[in-house]
Amino acid sequence: MKGATFVLMAAMAAAQPPKPDPAVAAKIHAALNTDPVLRAMAEELGRAKNLRALGEAVYFGEVSVDDAESFSISAVLGSLYAPQRASIRPVRPLLRVGQPAFDNTGSVYSDYFEGTRFDAGVLPLDNAVPALRHALWLALDRAYKTAYGALGRKAAALRGVTQSEVLPDFWASTPVVVIETPSRVKIDEAAWTQRVRKLSAVFSSYPSIASSGVDFQVSQGASYYLNTEGTIARVHDRIAYVRARAAAQAPDGMALYDGDSVESLDPQRMPGEAELAQMVEAVAKNVAALAAAPLGESYTGPVLLEGIAAAQAFADVFGANLGVTRRPVSEPGRQAPVLSSELEGRLGLRVLPEWMDLVDDPGQRELDGRPLLGFYLLDLDGVRPRRLTLVEKGVLKAVLTTRQPVKGMDGPNGRSRLPGAFGLKIPRISNLFVQARVTESEAAMKKRLLELAARAGRGYAIVIRKLDFPSFGSVEDLRQLAAQAGRSGGGNRPAPLPVLVYRAYPDGREELVRGLRLRSFGTRQFRNIVAAGDRRYQFDYMDNGAPLALAGAGSYVVGCSVVAPPVLFEELELEPAAADLPKPPIVPPPQ
């Protein structure tokens, strides 16, 4: 008890401003005394922050622990894979040595530890303080040695280099105290098992689908965060989702796939079975229709993104690019292979039409009665996020920031949402609202689309109703997309494949085509949006830091929502996703 109080006082003394509200202090005190995880974190961070044995003092330290319990179940054509149940407490320590102006983070050496690693990266599952402290002691010991080694290597790498622009390495923030009492809801595993089995059997009625599957996963628990500024947090951390995917081969061998998912931050508010069956059915229909659809041809002209497709496009292109991170310091003359944001250096410049705004609001829990997936109280840097106007009248006003200073911004805005490399976090959007000051009805947009196509001399226009984002392709599909993007001048960021692409003819007829991809699709194309619809669509997804938020990749996911109207691009380029096509199997599928 004494130790805990000591830590609390020490942390508070370091905090700015240093006057703890007695009610808050009492709350912290109570939490430290009743929660062994929090207490062990406080005691060990309290010891580690005084580390200076190697000659460098710790000027900032933090520890995060996720206490997660998950259950997942998958099925194929009515047959179950075994359920997976896991309990895990991953721990992420970070100690900063040096000065805020120049520290151990932001270099390729930042995570490199050459000694023997004794910590397992996770805490014990039992709640005994001594064993928890033992694990944290080893984790923080490695963090300190890693930080010390990285600082030296980073300074050495920069010794012979003149940096074009010197920015500090750390933005401080104000202490925050958030103590939630996480409650786990009871998951009816048997009911979900039965539901997933049933949902997966939907695909049985589609013989042309070669492979398919349905997954359900729920993860719930608490996220802990503690830093030497005095921030102390224990917040709910829950997410549940159902995901369906299917693939087929067209008669010419082309592989086609689609997928969809439904997520919720509250496992008890997942949609009912009928709605889920509808989602699975839609995936099945899409894949079956694609397998029978004609091949698309190269096209340059107006493109209308309808339904959720526009929100998906904003999620992919702006979701990743709005977070600007600095290139890590590396070996002189050797650049680390890190994609930089297309929006780097574009603050104050126009990135969208002057009648469009982008607002990111993590504080909003729902929209028109529907929950938003990007709600959160505190980011991974222990910073409380606020509502941000990112683009105003088409001009980029702000970017998403972490504790890493970036040019043009003056502090962290609480968008550290994913753990990243180089001692840093990855900034991501939360609930992104795409707002149009000028809108049109969808019928008017369609009319305009056809007019633009006629003016460009096209016999038809293109309407896209769904993109493969988050991608349901394989890692190999993604690699090919990135290579194609590189060849056609789109940088190395793969553009999402359009799944539902229609030729819209002047007589009102529409025809689904397959096998097209967007050629160079990035922020630049968004400047030639010429119209937006008067209805908005909400698209929820889980980001994991992988390109195209590849479904199933990564071990850490974060919920995001994008709310956007349909948009009409004056000109986009589509071309056949040229690749050698595998021949269809010699043996017909089993009945």
User: Which residues sit at the interface with another protein, rule CB under 8 A?
Assistant: 1-3, 43-44, 47-48, 51, 53-54, 75-82, 84-87, 114-116, 118, 120, 122-126, 128-135, 137-138, 141, 144-145, 204, 210-211, 582, 585-590
CB of 212 to another protein, least distance (A): 9
CB of 128 to another protein, least distance (A): 5
CB of 468 to another protein, least distance (A): 21
H or E element that contains 371: strand 370-371
- 135 or 378, CB closer to another protein? 135
Nearest 5 degrees, angle CA 291-CA 297-CA 302? 110
| Phi and psi angles of residue 172, each rounded to the nearest 5 degrees, phi first | -75, 170
Distance CA 45, CA 239 (A): 29
CB atoms within 10 A of CB 131: 15
- 132 or 542, CB closer to another protein? 132
Distance CA 110, CA 169 (A): 12
CB atoms within 10 A of CB 334: 9
- 129 or 395, CB closer to another protein? 129
Distances (CA, A) of 271 to 204, 276, 382: 22, 7, 32
- 166 or 587, CB closer to another protein? 587
DSSP class of 321: H
**Mode of pairing for the β-strands spanning 177-179 and 510-513:** unpaired
CB of 35 to another protein, least distance (A): 15
- 210 or 512, CB closer to another protein? 210
CB of 221 to another protein, least distance (A): 14
Q: Helix (H, G, I), strand (E, B), or coil: what is residue 429?
A: coil
Nearest 5 degrees, angle CA 425-CA 429-CA 434? 165
CB atoms within 10 A of CB 320: 23
H or E element that contains 48: helix 36-48
- 137 or 355, CB closer to another protein? 137
- 10 or 122, CB closer to another protein? 122
- 130 or 508, CB closer to another protein? 130
Strand partners, 385: none
CB atoms within 10 A of CB 18: 10
CB of 311 to another protein, least distance (A): 33
CB of 553 to another protein, least distance (A): 17
Place of tokens 């930089």: 340
Q: Are 227 and 9 in contact (CB under 8 A)?
A: no
- 141 or 316, CB closer to another protein? 141
Strand partners, 61: 95
Q: Are 403 and 323 in contact (CB under 8 A)?
A: no
- 194 or 300, CB closer to another protein? 194
H or E element that contains 442: helix 442-455
CB of 384 to another protein, least distance (A): 31
Instruction: Answer left, alpha or beta for residue 152, where phi above 0 means left and psi between -120 and 50 means alpha.
Output: alpha
Give the dihedral of Cα atoms 114, 115, 118, 123; nearest 10 deg.
-40
- 128 or 456, CB closer to another protein? 128
CB of 476 to another protein, least distance (A): 13
CB of 256 to another protein, least distance (A): 15
CB of 260 to another protein, least distance (A): 20
| Phi and psi angles of residue 186, each rounded to the nearest 5 degrees, phi first | -80, 130
